[in-house]
Structure 1
Amino acid sequence: MEAYELWQKAVKAREFSYSPYSGFKVGAALLCKNGEVVQGCNVENSAYGPSNCAERTAFFAAVAKGQREFEAIAIAGGKEELVMCYPCGVCRQVMAEFCDPDNFHVICGMNKEKLEILTLRELLPKSFEMQD
């Protein structure tokens, strides 16, 4: 799947965002190794702590469906206009739990001409990992 095609699915997932407090709507589209795309959106809560980012929503939904191997995630976010929206540290660490940092790609963008594709290692160079 092309990066832009996956990113468009993130834009679509953004429509389901529940963000009455910040107004910052985020959508994510997670590409599984088997070709399935699992979408997620941010879900806010007035207590803030129980809120969940779009990226983690997508990962947790995929894991709940039995998926454990992933190729890429695309992220689209902003209030009215889309802005470059990178995953937070918690989401990066969740990605590190399931993904090869050198081969998993994170796609962030504002439009077709402004897409940035990074590896997880570029975003999280020294992640916490289980030691043998």
Structure 2
Amino acid sequence: MSETIHGLTTAEVTLLGEKAIAAKSLAYCPYSNFRVGCALLCEDGSYVLGANIENASYPVTVCAERTAFSRAIVEGKRESGGFKAVGVSTDISPPASPCGMCRQFIREFCDLKTPIFMWDSKGEYAVMTLEQLLPMSFGPDQLHKPDPNKGK
């Protein structure tokens, strides 16, 4: 039996890391020079990449994780089964975790048990579940879905 890490095979973790690390080359970060790459492993076996995109007006900057998830949602990945894992890569060591805003964004689309793999500048990683990164979180399951028949 092959070893698994949070339900992923060693090969899946390796490929997720390679894709997250490669995604850093797509970053647009002329102000901070802090490259971040993100790779999502979708349940259908495909990968979606994202990179941070800065703006002269810093609050308008979009993180790599939000770029990847936005792209994945537009590509229909949520409807095709969702997401199996998230990979994030930076040029620092130890690895950096997703920021608070990204953690909440990930929470919208992932189960709390979803593993978040974080690679550093040396190619080493740490892994935590979304629940570990965002304890006592608030998500879509706390909101009541509107009744489509109400008001008819």
TM normalised by structure 2 equals 0.79
Q: Superposition pairs for residues 114-129 of structure 1, below 5 Å?
A: 114-129=124-139
Structure 1: segments with no counterpart, 5+ residues? none
Aligned-pair distance for 1:5? 1.8
Encode CA deviations 1:5-40: one digit per residue, 9 max, x unaligned: 201101111001100000000100011110110000
| Structure 1 partner of 2:148 | none
| Structure 1 partner of 2:5 | none
Structure 2 distance, partners of 1:82, 1:21, is: 20
2:38–2:87 CA contact under 8 A, matched in 1: yes
| Structure 2 partner of 1:28 | 38
Q: Which has the higher contact order (CA 8 A, sep 6+)?
A: 1
TM normalised by structure 1 equals 0.90
Encode CA deviations 1:71-130: one digit per residue, 9 max, x unaligned: 11111112xx5651210011101111011102x110012244x31111100100111124
For 2:101, give the aligned amino acid.
V
Structure 1 distance, partners of 2:104, 2:129, is: 13
Structure 2: segments with no counterpart, 5+ residues? 1-10, 145-152
| Structure 2 partner of 1:60 | 70
Q: After alignment, is 37-46 or 117-126 more displaced?
A: 117-126
Give 3-state SS (helix, strand or coil) of 1:40's partner: strand
Give 3-state SS (helix, strand or coil) of 2:26's partner: coil
Structure 2 distance, partners of 1:98, 1:84, is: 23
Structure 1 distance, partners of 2:93, 2:68, is: 19
Compute the RMSD of aligned alpha carbons: 1.4
The one of 56, 59, 73 aligned to 2:86: 73
2:24–2:35 CA contact under 8 A, matched in 1: yes
Structure 1 distance, partners of 2:52, 2:94, is: 15
Q: Superposition pairs for residues 1-132 of structure 1, below 5 Å?
A: 1-68=11-78, 69-78=82-91, 83-102=94-113, 104-110=114-120, 111-112=122-123, 114-130=124-140, 131=142, 132=144
Structure that is richer in strand per residue:
1
Give 3-state SS (helix, strand or coil) of 2:20's partner: helix
Query: Share of identical aligned residues, percent?
Result: 41
